Amino acid sequence: MCRCDVSDRDDATHQQVNGVAMATLALDTSPRSTVISPSTLESLARLSIEEGGHDTNITRHRWQLSLQHNNDHFCGATLIASKWALTSAGCVQLHSTDLSVRAASNYVSSGGQLVDVQTVIVHPDYNAKTHDSDIALLEFVEEVDENITVNAWLPNTKEEQIQDGWDTDLTGK
């Protein structure tokens, strides 16, 4: 688990915003890169990620992943690029090795595509007691199949970002 800022990565850029050091990680989503700003990550982290506690179909939520440790489901994750997912830092607090994600399946133990996680990046300000900055990035060993990621969701503009207090249909644990 990388409990750090992303200064050790070649694909990160750094800037000062109102005197606060910020890092932006460019995710390789060939042929272009998607830049996920800290404010977007924080917006995504604040989302309530379940659909009323009811079963749903993966075709409605293509971005939803099963986060697994030694092939056992223990948390949810959100696909944000072909080799990247977003999850709770609390989810990877105890399990940071031998992780994989299952994509495009209604079941946590079969179907879809199983991809190994190679890197876990926990927000450097994560606090397990207060749950502040409870967010982590997962980098996969290989890309999730393009047919799976076709409808994966990530807000690309300010208008598409979900504002605090708004409801949305997302899935997860």
Percentages helix, strand, coil for the chain, rounded to the nearest 5?
15, 35, 50
pLDDT tens for residues 15-33? Answer: 444 444 444 444 443 333 3
Q: Who has greater pLDDT, 137 or 160?
A: 137
The pTM of this model reads: 0.61
103 close to 110: Cβ distance less than 8 angstroms:
no
What one-letter code names the amino acid at 169? D
pLDDT at 165 over 90: no
pLDDT tens for residues 98-150? Answer: 999 999 888 888 989 999 999 999 999 999 999 999 999 999 999 998 776 65
Distance CA 80, CA 101 (A): 13
DSSP letter at 52?
Answer: T
pLDDT at 58: 73
Place of tokens 């409808």: 151
- Rounded to a whole number of angstroms, the CA Rg of the chain reads 15
pLDDT confidence bin for 157, thresholds 50/70/90: low
